[in-house]
Structure 1
Amino acid sequence: MTIQSTDRSTGAAEHRPAAAFTGGAVIGTLGGLIGLGGAEFRLPLLISVFRFAALEAVILNKAMSLVVVATALPFRAMSVPFDDVMANWPIILNLLAGSLLGAWLGAGWATRLRSETLYKVIAVLLVLIAIVLLFGHDATAGSPPFSGATLVVAGIAAGFVIGVVASLLGVAGGELLIPTLVLLFGADIKLAGSLSLAVSLPTMIVGFTRYSRDQSFSVLGRNKPFLLVMAAGSVVGTFIGGLLLGVVPSGLLLPLLAVILLVSAGKVWRH
């Protein structure tokens, strides 16, 4: 369980609070505009700009994502009441049956990968998320393609894959959960956003718990001020992005965000 990276971060002293807050706010705003926590954009920033090692960046990203997801549920409660979310508890439990195991295994795999390998895995996953943003985010609700036991098995399998990806990147997984909820379960897009948060929160806690067993988890203690400042910026940005929702046309925004992810993936690959 020892991390094999030697390019460890130099500590929060070199990470200026203003830059951390601004970066978090900008990324949170981008994420809020499309119903995400922004973690997929925050991760390349932590690696390329703030120079954290791959595994440390993933752990920091997951900690910030936990804060964003936990605050996003109350933010959305006025539009999607908690009663509506809990009325769909079978769907939540179905996805959790796979995502919790995937999160635990994904975090374990990340702690055992060589740093160079983890950078490349992160880069590939960023490319896949860019593709999902382009082709999956505008999915419209319809009748579920499966029913009964087949739907349950498909939900568990989808949850497992999402849990692995969420742990490897330190993200909430909404970019994958929302299309899954819409296409596999026929959920309304707004309801899918809140359901994805309900699935993400316990999934991320499981992955976070697994990461806590690795020595790289100490990055949180060494960089607590940086973590808190950037997480605060992310929450503010997510709130602003929610307010701006509908102002920026998705036809322009989604391709732009996908390009950002592709450029980030290239930088992480060559890191």
Structure 2
Amino acid sequence: MATVMDNGRDLTVMLIADRCAPDGDAAAGFQRDLHALGARLLPAGQPMLAVGPAARLGDLAAGAVGGLWRVLGVVLLASFVLLLLTFRSLLIPVKAVAMNLLCVCAAFGLLTVAFQDLGREGADVNALLPLVVFTIVFGLSLDYEVFLVHRIAEHYRRTGDNTAAVLHGLRHTARPITLAAAIMAVTFGGLMLTRRLDFQQGGFAVAAAIILDATIIRMVLVPCLMRLLGHRNWWLPGFRSRRGSAP
């Protein structure tokens, strides 16, 4: 149903009533059809503005997706620089950023399988989740990375033995990382008991990412890579000559 209100000069307002849920695919498709119709009927350059719950949700989702790349760039660059300055290594921050991205991508893959492929029909992943989950997971993952690598770097600089340093780091951080990850996974997993689908998806994604990060990433992949890279883990152009005594 549509009602037209025209002021007779330069503005036409159309009130359109529909039966679509504002956050559903039907509402999004309806908004696209309206804009396509306006583009065909209105003169060139004439703007068409839409308001209402569905339009606001669409604008919010578009803004979140558009801002994701800027947030991604800032977080990755800041993480790289911070780890570079902390550990005086070029490969450590590169490895940390790559592992964290792998963890986030794997978590979203599990989220898609759980809620779209195996879940109820029409349970699309909320458009705001990538931005929110990425920032939360990346911050938590860097915490675990710093805990582990700091122990390894401390032992390596004292002994110069990379293999022994990796074992030392695992031995002294496995329990606190596991306990911290379990607490965070249970906390965010509790959101899955709510009735809101977006809360369920967010809780599942963060909990899955934390479990993957604390087990496969932090306890298996990172130590294996550091063991294989050996002394190259601690390479930084020009740093050895400036420190002189650094191993």
TM-score (norm: length of structure 1):
0.27
Greater RCO (CA < 8 Å, at least 6 residues apart):
1
Richer in strand (by share):
2
